Structure 1
């Protein structure tokens, strides 16, 4: 993985802007600790930071090629991994392309030379890249199908800025952070963010599965892939066998690296299945990691989304698979202090303890491995979350994971609420996404509704988790691969009817069946349990105290926007929905938003 940044401007000579380009590129150093490079021409400037994973000696970027010996340069900056590199290299070689490296970056560049922007359709992997085509004077930006790798853009008259993270765009004086008050509901709950959207005015992401082409006529974005609903013709046994075959192929491809590869092992079905496949297919001992908290055996309490602790199951899974397991144990004070670093990694309000603990977990992983496999995405494609199996939530006319619980946005002052209209925003956002859901002709009832629910979960919620994983891992130079987000698996599972996905009356029945020979019953039958949280009373008290202090802080940029009485009522212990651990978990976005507004000097309008 790497970090990319760039600047296109047809109204100025960017060769005179090299110091700014270097600042943009340097801001992404953590994403690419193994090398850096820049390339400039009159109207384009490209920067790259490299994390070397394959072909450690080759593969430096920006990577330059030409169609003809006397042609203009075609230049690539790329972040990602292409898992069908061998097949693409063979096809391109047969078409006359010559390769000087073993890296997938050159495969991407040669694919563009051969197929243009349409090359994205041929790539199997996680990626975000930019290609400057000097012959055509176009800049092409492409993002992978599920949006695993980030790609931010600021478009302005005559040009644009792009980067892997907002911090690189913020390093350019052309962009200043501005937050419209109407975006506060999304700031408080990022699961509401529409694909490709952003909370800062003038900043957006290239949408997953999309290509953006910029030239002298402006910037134009269009999708190159989307889910298509078709009848599922396979019977149960064939479906199970197909899923198993896909998983084996996906994991085998994602084990390829010239650096140490490990697996994140929580002891849940998803991570244990991946670790079992990785251990079997690699043919060598697997290194695994899990996170836990000091005194969690004393303070843990069961919730709908986290019914039990990971640690005992992770140990059992490691013992069963014979892995070299490390348990990263964090105390609540370290988690609290780490929030500031997590904020700098994300450049947006973080998820508090979840970002902080994941960042510290990944830092420990990076000391022994450069690549890690993660089970992110399994719940969205196999149907694992509790709200998929709770009729009242499924049938609610809003995002199922919100339920009927309180919304943090209710803590805004009355005049702000009148302007923001959060309920109207929620209804409009839900209706917009629902209208995009690919339906199957003739499908009705629960099967049709569950297709909608699964589609909704593939939008904001999955994007949030993938964004968190990318940002926290790349902050320490760790590449995290997500096998369950392989688009071939997603496409196949999209058309498997809901009745198969819960065939035995439980969540993820199909995944259980596909890996039933790999795991003991205790692990195979474990209920869904989300990424762990600390339940330490001192952490909860720290959050509540911090929120109450914010209400009395005249320097707080958020204070005047809040209804202090309402916030205090929440702090006393509001009823929380299925997604929240406790009241502190629900209140954390207030602290994170306040810290973000201060740290990044965000202007509120």
Structure 2
């Protein structure tokens, strides 16, 4: 895994601004601590920071090939899981290799197939290729949007990077956030292409962009499409089992130490169980809070503690398991909050669920470079509680908002009255919902119920999942850890997207197909466990710490925060007993703290007039 950055300018000589190109590249150092490189030509600068996973000795970037008509140079982030097959195919077409890395396979794939190279790739990736033969830049992103890529069109070219910070390091990019940027920040609809900063865009999942002297154009090479599902239940379960086994086998290939993230739930349990069949030793990691198991209370969202199920799964496969136990101080530390905001670049966090994830990844990175995670199983197989709630499904808005999820329910009560009126988040959410629903393809013979659930699936895969993948990418890459997400394999996603909802819930439960396909590698306790979200601390000391930090912010009356946050609202909340704050109040304070540190770190110009 790596970080990439670059600058194309057709009317100037970027070699005269080498320091700027180096500064853009340097912002990606967290993502790639093992090596770095910068490739400069008159019209282009390509920067790279590398986390060496495959062929550590031979995979240095930027990587270029000289042709009779000019150089072709690549900077690339990601992993291609069908590298071996592509290498054999390209060898048969006459290609000769200097390394064993997947980077070179992507580069030679481009030389062979041009833009269509993306159609041949199975994996997670974001890359840029400068083609001197055509004086053009290709930007590409994987089908599900696992790896991020942002761009900022300029007067005579483009700036790009794995994270917005790379682009903001160039003086051509203005640090301006307008009303459109802020609306999404508080709406949680994940508008496609949104990047917070005015003028900046995120390349869409399954999209490529071509930049040339004629301008910038984009093309969608993959999207979710409706197709008939003709397999019966037994065949469907067998097909999913075979696909998952193949995906796990492919994604366990690495030249560096790797492990599995284990939550005690069905998703990670299936992956760990399948991985145990591929290797003699499985290393697993989990995260929990000091005293959580002993003092656990059903909070209406999480009905059981994770620890007993983690032990059952680890014992079944004989895993070498490490549990990371965190105290309230570990997850309330403002230094960690700032580290995450620096890495993510947007103040849209999830409180202790973010800081605990960061702490977990820190612990994993002390021993391992690669980890496999169960992210996306709920979107693919239908696991969220709100997907099974008829009132929520028929609410006429995004299900995760209708279910009153306190973490992603939008929420703008902490904003100034003037800003709330200007943003009108409710209208924005309604507009985004109509746009999202209109993008869904349906089959002519679909029942109304199946059409509704196809829409729900589409919303989650194209919108909600993007929020989660972004969160996991930033938290992991902030410590130089590569996290792979097997459930995002596009073959699996395509197959399950077109599997009818009645078949996905054939036993009356969530994720019926996954439960049945993976039952042979699970203990009964994990197989039968009800869906439980990522853990959150129940220790009141955490709320007290967040409340105290908010009081300290309130004392800074001259803070730029109060151009956005209503001071009277914050004063009222800070006057309350923190032990009596409900979840919504706690999350509102988390948002205020995020905004405070983000403004301090990024010094944005907020223009909503």
Query: Which band: TM-score by shorter chain?
Result: over 0.9
1: distance between equivalents of 2:438 and 2:73?
A: 38
- The answer to whether the aligner puts 1:26 opposite 2:22 as a matched pair is no
SS at match of 2:464: helix
2: distance between equivalents of 1:543 and 1:550?
A: 11
- The answer to whether the aligner puts 1:361 opposite 2:360 as a matched pair is yes
How big is each residue's C-alpha offset from its partner over 1:270-291, in whole Å with a ceiling of 9 and x where there is no partner?
Answer: 0010001011122x11000000
How big is each residue's C-alpha offset from its partner over 1:70-93, in whole Å with a ceiling of 9 and x where there is no partner?
Answer: 320000000000001111111111
How big is each residue's C-alpha offset from its partner over 1:22-70, in whole Å with a ceiling of 9 and x where there is no partner?
Answer: 111122112111111111111000011111111111011111113x3x3
Q: 1:582 deviation in Å?
A: 5.3
2: distance between equivalents of 1:333 and 1:561?
A: 28
Moved more, 547-556 or 338-347: 547-556
* Distance verdict in 2 for CA 1:584–1:299, change over 3 Å: farther
* Distance verdict in 2 for CA 1:516–1:303, change over 3 Å: same
Q: TM-score, normalised by structure 1?
A: 0.95
Q: 1:107 deviation in Å?
A: 0.4
Aligned to 1:243: 240
Q: 1:298 deviation in Å?
A: 5.2
- The answer to whether the aligner puts 1:45 opposite 2:45 as a matched pair is yes
How big is each residue's C-alpha offset from its partner over 1:543-588, in whole Å with a ceiling of 9 and x where there is no partner?
Answer: 23434554553233232433455556777699x9xxx955313431
Equivalences for 1:235-384 in 2 at 5 Å? 235-282=232-279, 284-297=280-293, 300-337=296-333, 338-349=336-347, 350-384=349-383
Aligned to 1:597: 599
1: distance between equivalents of 2:435 and 2:238?
A: 36
SS at match of 1:7: strand
SS at match of 1:410: coil
Aligned to 1:386: 385
Moved more, 543-552 or 193-202: 543-552
| Alignment partner of 1:475 out of 473, 478, 486 | 478
1: distance between equivalents of 2:184 and 2:297?
A: 29
Aligned to 1:539: 542
Q: 1:159 deviation in Å?
A: 1.2
Does the 8 A contact of 2:184 with 2:191 survive in 1?
A: no
Q: 1:510 deviation in Å?
A: 0.6
Root-mean-square deviation (CA), in Å?
1.9
Does the 8 A contact of 1:188 with 1:593 survive in 2?
A: no
SS at match of 1:380: helix
Q: 1:193 deviation in Å?
A: 2.1
2: distance between equivalents of 1:250 and 1:569?
A: 52
Q: 1:418 deviation in Å?
A: 2.0
Does the 8 A contact of 1:198 with 1:204 survive in 2?
A: yes
2: distance between equivalents of 1:240 and 1:260?
A: 32
2: distance between equivalents of 1:573 and 1:254?
A: 48
2: distance between equivalents of 1:507 and 1:555?
A: 50
Aligned to 2:138: 140
- The answer to whether the aligner puts 1:490 opposite 2:490 as a matched pair is no
**Alignment coverage as a number of residue pairs:** 597
Equivalences for 1:409-424 in 2 at 5 Å? 409-424=412-427
2: distance between equivalents of 1:225 and 1:211?
A: 10
Does the 8 A contact of 1:382 with 1:508 survive in 2?
A: yes
* Distance verdict in 2 for CA 1:567–1:497, change over 3 Å: farther
Q: Which runs of 5+ in 2 are unaligned?
A: none
SS at match of 2:446: coil
* Distance verdict in 2 for CA 1:451–1:567, change over 3 Å: farther
Does the 8 A contact of 2:95 with 2:108 survive in 1?
A: yes
* Distance verdict in 2 for CA 1:407–1:210, change over 3 Å: closer
Does the 8 A contact of 1:143 with 1:210 survive in 2?
A: yes
SS at match of 1:78: strand
1: distance between equivalents of 2:233 and 2:305?
A: 32
| Alignment partner of 1:170 out of 157, 168, 171 | 168
SS at match of 2:519: coil
2: distance between equivalents of 1:170 and 1:50?
A: 20
2: distance between equivalents of 1:298 and 1:593?
A: 34
Does the 8 A contact of 2:77 with 2:125 survive in 1?
A: yes
Q: TM-score, normalised by structure 2?
A: 0.95
- The answer to whether the aligner puts 1:431 opposite 2:445 as a matched pair is no
Q: 1:308 deviation in Å?
A: 2.0
Does the 8 A contact of 1:294 with 1:329 survive in 2?
A: yes
Q: Which runs of 5+ in 1 are unaligned?
A: none
2: distance between equivalents of 1:295 and 1:526?
A: 22
Q: 1:597 deviation in Å?
A: 1.3
Equivalences for 1:547-586 in 2 at 5 Å? 547-551=550-554, 553-564=556-567, 566=569, 583-586=585-588
How big is each residue's C-alpha offset from its partner over 1:145-169, in whole Å with a ceiling of 9 and x where there is no partner?
Answer: 1110011111111011111112211
* Distance verdict in 2 for CA 1:380–1:155, change over 3 Å: same
Aligned to 1:129: 127
1: distance between equivalents of 2:573 and 2:393?
A: 26
Moved more, 534-543 or 463-472: 534-543
2: distance between equivalents of 1:93 and 1:401?
A: 48
SS at match of 1:31: coil
1: distance between equivalents of 2:181 and 2:572?
A: 23
* Distance verdict in 2 for CA 1:266–1:550, change over 3 Å: same
How big is each residue's C-alpha offset from its partner over 1:338-362, in whole Å with a ceiling of 9 and x where there is no partner?
Answer: 2111111212213332221111111
1: distance between equivalents of 2:390 and 2:559?
A: 42
Q: 1:101 deviation in Å?
A: 0.8
Moved more, 322-331 or 354-363: 354-363
Moved more, 171-180 or 147-156: 171-180
* Distance verdict in 2 for CA 1:299–1:153, change over 3 Å: farther
Does the 8 A contact of 1:130 with 1:142 survive in 2?
A: yes
2: distance between equivalents of 1:407 and 1:553?
A: 26
2: distance between equivalents of 1:314 and 1:89?
A: 39
Aligned to 2:227: 230
* Distance verdict in 2 for CA 1:200–1:586, change over 3 Å: same
| Alignment partner of 1:205 out of 194, 202, 206 | 202
* Distance verdict in 2 for CA 1:404–1:185, change over 3 Å: farther
Moved more, 33-42 or 549-558: 549-558
Moved more, 74-83 or 442-451: 442-451
